[in-house]
Amino acid sequence: MDVDIGNALDARPGLTEGTLDRLDGRVAAAHDRIARGMADDEFGYASLNLPETADSAAIRAAVEPFGEPEAVLTVGIGGSALGAATLADALESDVDAYFLDNVDPDAVDALLADLPLADVVLNVVSRSGTTAETLANFLVVREAMDAAGVDWTDRTLVTTGEEGNLRRLAETHDLPALDVPEGVPGRFSVLSTVGLAVAALQGHDVEAVLAGGSDGMDALAGSLFESPAYAYGATTYALAERGALTNAFMPYAESLETFAEWFAQLWAESLGKDGLGQTPARALGATDQHSQLQLYRAGPADKLVTLVRPTERADAPIPETDLDGLSYLGGSSLGDLLDAEFAATEASLAAADVPNVRIEIDRVDERSLGELLYGMEAACVLYGELASVSTFTQPAVEWGKKAARGLLGGGDFAEAEAVADKREFR
C-alpha cells in the first residue's frame, strides 16, 4: 500500500510539512502505546495482531463440510457483515455471496424468493450473539429453509462470542461454530473468522489475505514518514483538527465500492466520540465525478478527499471510430480513461486547494486487500490515539440496540423509554 499525502499539504484546510514534523513526536508516542496494547492483547489493539493470531486452519476446517456451495448467505450487521462483504465484492468467485444486514421486510422477502435455499450455506455472525436484527433474520431464514424442506442444521455455520443467545443456539443444535476472537470489536474483525469464513467458502486464499495483513503490520513504524498507514492516520487527524470534518472516500474501482462502505463504518464508529470525528462520505470514481465532485471542489472548505486505486487491473480496449470528435478515444482503453479521470480529479481538487490523499495498491487481490484493510485499521487506531478518543467502543450503537430491544419487549431499558420523549412539530 502506497500513501501519497503531497496534495494534502498547503491546501485549505491547511497543513504544512512543518505541521507534520511537529506532529511526528506524538505519532511516535502513539505508536508506542499501540505496540504496548498489541503486546498485551488489550481490547481493540488485539485486532492489529490478527495477521499472526487468526486461525486460518480452523476456518478451513469449519467450512470444509459444506464443499462448494452454490451460494453463501451471511446474516449479520455492521462489523459482522461489512468485512466479509468487502472481500466478497472485491474478489471474483463462482460461489455467490449474499448479505442480510437489514430487516427491511421487502428486501428480505425478495432475497429469499430468489435464493436456491437447498444449496446455500447460511452463515450467521454476531459477536455479542444478541443483536436483534441478526437473530430476527436468522429466524426468518431458518423458517424459509424449513418451509422449503431444507434441513437448516445441515446448512448453517455460526460465528459468535463465547456467550449470548447465538452461542446457546449453536450448542443446542450442535451447529458448527467459529469463535470471534477475544479483544476484537466488530469493525476491526475482517481479518478474523468474522471476515474470512465467507472468503474461505468462496474459495479465496485466506492465508494470502492474512499475509497482506502481515505486510501492513511489518510496515508500522514510530514515524508517520516511515509508515504509510500512520501517514494517512496522522494527515487525516491533522486535517480534521483544522476543519476538514468530512472525508470523501473515493475508490476508482467498482470492486472496491463496498470497501468504501467498510471504511465508512470503521471511521465513523471508531472516531465519532466526544464531539470529535470526521464524517466519511462514500463516493465512487469516476461515477461520482458527475455528481458529488462539484461539492467537494467548490463547496465549503471542510473536506478532504481520499482517492484509492489499484495500479494494475484488467483492461478493455475502446474500439476505433471515425466519428467526428471521438477519434481520440479509439485505440485507447477504458483503463486509460479511468486513469485519466483519476488524474483529472486529483488535479482539479489540488487546483482548488482541496486537500486530497492518494492511496494505491498493486492490484485487487487477496494479499493487497489484506494489506489495505490492515493499513486503514492501523490508521484509524493512530487517529484515535492522537484525538484521545475511545476508538474501540460504540456507546451510541449500543444505545440504539437497547432502545429497539426494549420497544419489542426484549428487556427493561431506559433507552426504550426515551423514545416517548420524541418532540413533534408539524
Binding site for ligand PA5 (CB under 6 A): 77-80, 126-128, 131, 134, 185-187, 269, 394, 397
CB of 166 to ligand PA5, least distance (A): 8
How many Å apart are CA 177 and CA 324, to the nearest integer? 62
Nearer to ligand PA5, 344 or 403 (CB): 403
Nearer to ligand PA5, 126 or 227 (CB): 126
Nearer to ligand PA5, 186 or 384 (CB): 186
Question: Which residue in 204, 303, 401, 402 is the catalytic one?
Answer: 401
CB of 79 to ligand PA5, least distance (A): 3
Q: Cβ neighbours of residue 166 under 8 Å, at least 6 residues apart?
A: 124, 126, 129, 130, 134, 135, 138, 158, 160
Residue 375 C-alpha from the chain's centroid: 12
Question: Which residue in 133, 269, 346, 385 is the catalytic one?
Answer: 269
- Are 26 and 386 spatial neighbours (Cβ–Cβ below 8 Å)? yes
How many Å apart are CA 178 and CA 263, to the nearest integer? 25
CB of 192 to ligand PA5, least distance (A): 12
How many Å apart are CA 90 and CA 233, to the nearest integer? 23
How many Å apart are CA 196 and CA 175, to the nearest integer? 18
CB of 283 to ligand PA5, least distance (A): 22
**401 classed as catalytic:** yes
Residue 26 C-alpha from the chain's centroid: 27
Question: How far, CA to CA in Å, does 111 sit from each of 105, 125, 132?
Answer: 10, 18, 19
Nearer to ligand PA5, 265 or 289 (CB): 265
Question: What DSSP state is assigned to residue 6?
Answer: G
Nearer to ligand PA5, 6 or 400 (CB): 400
Which of 343, 372, 347 shows the shortest CA–CA distance to 359? 372
CB of 411 to ligand PA5, least distance (A): 15
* Nearest position to ligand PA5, beta carbon: 186
- The alpha carbon torsion through 285, 288, 289, 295 (nearest 10 deg) reads -130
Helix (H, G, I), strand (E, B) or coil at 124: strand
CB of 76 to ligand PA5, least distance (A): 6
Question: Which residue in 162, 290, 422, 424 is the catalytic one?
Answer: 290
Q: Cβ neighbours of residue 340 under 8 Å, at least 6 residues apart?
A: none
Nearer to ligand PA5, 68 or 171 (CB): 171
Which residues does the annotation mark as catalytic?
Answer: 269, 290, 401
